[in-house]
Structure 1
Amino acid sequence: MSWPAMVWIGGAPGAGKSTIARDLARRSDLPLHPIDLWTYDHVGRMPPLRPLAEDLAEGPQFAAEAFVKIARDRLGRVTADVEARGLGDVPALVEGPQLLPSMADEVAAAVWLVPDVEQTRQAREQRLARAEDPAGRARLDGLLARDAVLADLVRREAAECGRIVIDVPADPDWAAITCAVEDALGPLPRLEAGAALRLQREYENQAACRQGRLWQADIGLAELPPYPFACECGRSGCSATWPGRPDEYDVLRRADGAVMVC
């Protein structure tokens, strides 16, 4: 199978992958592809999965192995999703904890962020603070124990595969970490400014709307917390964002055709 052009930012949960990937993709005119934005779509295309709580109840090693199995099962779906974007030679910046060094043989440029245990806890606590999710709160300790196993696995596989790992301490220097990620990925082809760039930002925003609504329905959330949408102006290097919800995004699109906030 021929893979589409991709570069990866992987690593254990809580390492700042999503924030760094969003910043880098927008400054560098790269198509952004966070795997988590396709979670419900992938689950709908896979055999029924065992509930996360049951995996965690078996202990962190079992839960980590279950996570890795699902990640490997999703890899073909990830590559198909990227292929469907029709990006040509411009690589999609794919990010997510599901990307393991042992899965990256066909990926020319990749980097893995591995957080300190306390950084992982802080990141998960911040996510829980954004929305009322009692089930997520109940799983916190089990997830943190699983995350530690996954972090060790990433380190080991990266060493075996000769891949780059960047440590993320409890008090990270995000500017320095972002620069290290850029250095690891190297220079990359860009989307053409104008219509091509605008359409990819629109595609990413609509994926965020779909995932947000499915998550809201899944956990029974009365109202989604706002999250960042990208400007769709199509201007090279535009990193402007605005915090909103799917319904607010839809209103702006109906009014203006493209959501431009720069």
Structure 2
Amino acid sequence: MTWPAMVWIGGAPGAGKSTIARRLARRADLPLHPVDLWTYAHLDRLPPLRPLTEELAKGPDSAAEAFVGVARLRLDLVVADVRERDLGDVPAVVEGPQLFPSMADSVPAAVWLLPDAEQTRRAREERLARADDPAGRARLESLLARDTVLADLVRREALERGRVLIEVSAQPDWAGITEAVEDALGAPPRLAPGAELSRQRRYENLAACRQGRLWQADIGLAELPPYPFACECGTSGCAATWEGTPDEYDVRREQGWLTAHPAC
């Protein structure tokens, strides 16, 4: 299989992957591709999977093994999704906990962020605080135990393959971590400002809308928590964002905020 151009940011929850990837992509005019925003799109293309609660009930080692198995199945789908974006030589910044060093032999630019247990717990609890998700709260401890096993696996694979691994403490130096990630990923070619950069930012925003609405329907949320949508103005280096729900995004885009605003 021929892979499209990609740079990867992998690692465990709480490591700042999403924030750093978003910041890097917008500052460097790169397409952003968080794997989690394609979760429901992938479910339709995967074989039937056991419910998460069943996997967690088998213990952290078994649950971690199941997670890695699904991640390997999703790899081909991630590659196909990035290829569909028609980016040419411009790499997508692919981000998510599903990306393991043993899967990245074809990706020369990759980095893994590993938070300590306290930071991972904080991140999961903050995520739960943003939405009324009783099922998520009930499985928190089981997820944290699985996270520990997965973090050990990432560390071992990264060391075995000589890949870049950045440890994230409970008191992270986010500026230093971001700089280390940028150094590891280098200076890839950028999206052309204007129509192409605008098109890719809209593609990312629409993916967030689709994922959010499907998640809301799946777990029965009365209201979605806000998501940071990217500016679609197409100006090089524009990092302006607006937080809102998919429905609010639709309204704001019709009003022109995401294509022309003072921050640009």
| Separation (CA, whole Å) in 2 of partners of 1:256 and 1:110 | 36
Deviation of 1:227 (Å): 1.2
AA matched with 2:72: R
Q: Deviations over 1:35-76 (max 9, x none)?
A: 000000001111111000111110000000000000000000
Cα deviations by residue, 1:187-230 (Å, 9 ceiling, x for unpaired): 11110111010000000000000000000001100000111000
Question: What is the one-letter code of the residue matched to 1:253?
Answer: R
Kindly provide the amino acid, as one letter, of the partner of residue 125 in structure 1.
E
CA shift at 1:3, angstroms? 0.3
Which residue of 1 is the match for residue 93 of structure 2? 93
Q: Does the residue aligned with 1:111 lie in a helix, a strand or coil?
A: strand
Aligned to 1:213: 213
The 5-angstrom pairing of residues 69-84 of structure 1 reads: 69-84=69-84
Aligned to 2:61: 61
CA deviation vs aligned residue, 1:74-101 (integer Å, no higher than 9, x gap): 0000000000000000000000000000
Alignment of 1:1-262 (within 5 A): 1-256=1-256, 258-261=258-261, 262=263
Distance in structure 1 (CA, Å) of the matches to 2:219 and 2:172: 31
Flag structure 2 segments of 5+ consecutive residues without an equivalent.
none
Count of aligned residue pairs for this structure pair: 262
In structure 2, C-alpha distance between the alignment counterparts of 1:104 and 1:240, rounded to whole Å: 31
Q: AA paired with 1:28?
A: A
Question: Which amino acid in structure 1 is aligned with residue 180 of structure 2?
Answer: A
Structure 1 distance, partners of 2:260, 2:55, is 43
Q: CA RMSD in A?
A: 1.0
Distance 1:60 1:257 in 2: 45
How far does residue 259 in structure 1 lie from its aligned partner after superposition?
4.1
- Indicate the SS of the match to 2:157: helix
Shift of 1:257: 8.7
| Counterpart residue identity of residue 74, structure 2 | R
Structure 1 contact 252–259 (Cα < 8 Å) conserved: no
Post-superposition offset of 1:164: 0.5
Please give the per-residue CA displacement for 1:10-45, whole angstroms capped at 9, x wherever unaligned.
011221100110011000100000000000000111
The percent identity for this pair of structures is 75
Q: TM-score, length-normalised on structure 1? A: 0.98
What is the one-letter code of the residue matched to 2:118?
A: E
Mapped contact 1:231–1:259 kept (Cα < 8 A): yes
Q: 1:255 deviation in Å?
A: 3.1
Mapped contact 2:230–2:258 kept (Cα < 8 A):
no
Report the CA distance between 1:254 and its aligned residue.
2.6
Per-residue deviation, 1:253: 2.3
Q: What SS is found at the alignment partner of 1:47?
A: coil
Letter paired with 2:103? M
Q: Does the 8 Å CA contact 1:110/1:163 hold for their aligned counterparts?
A: yes
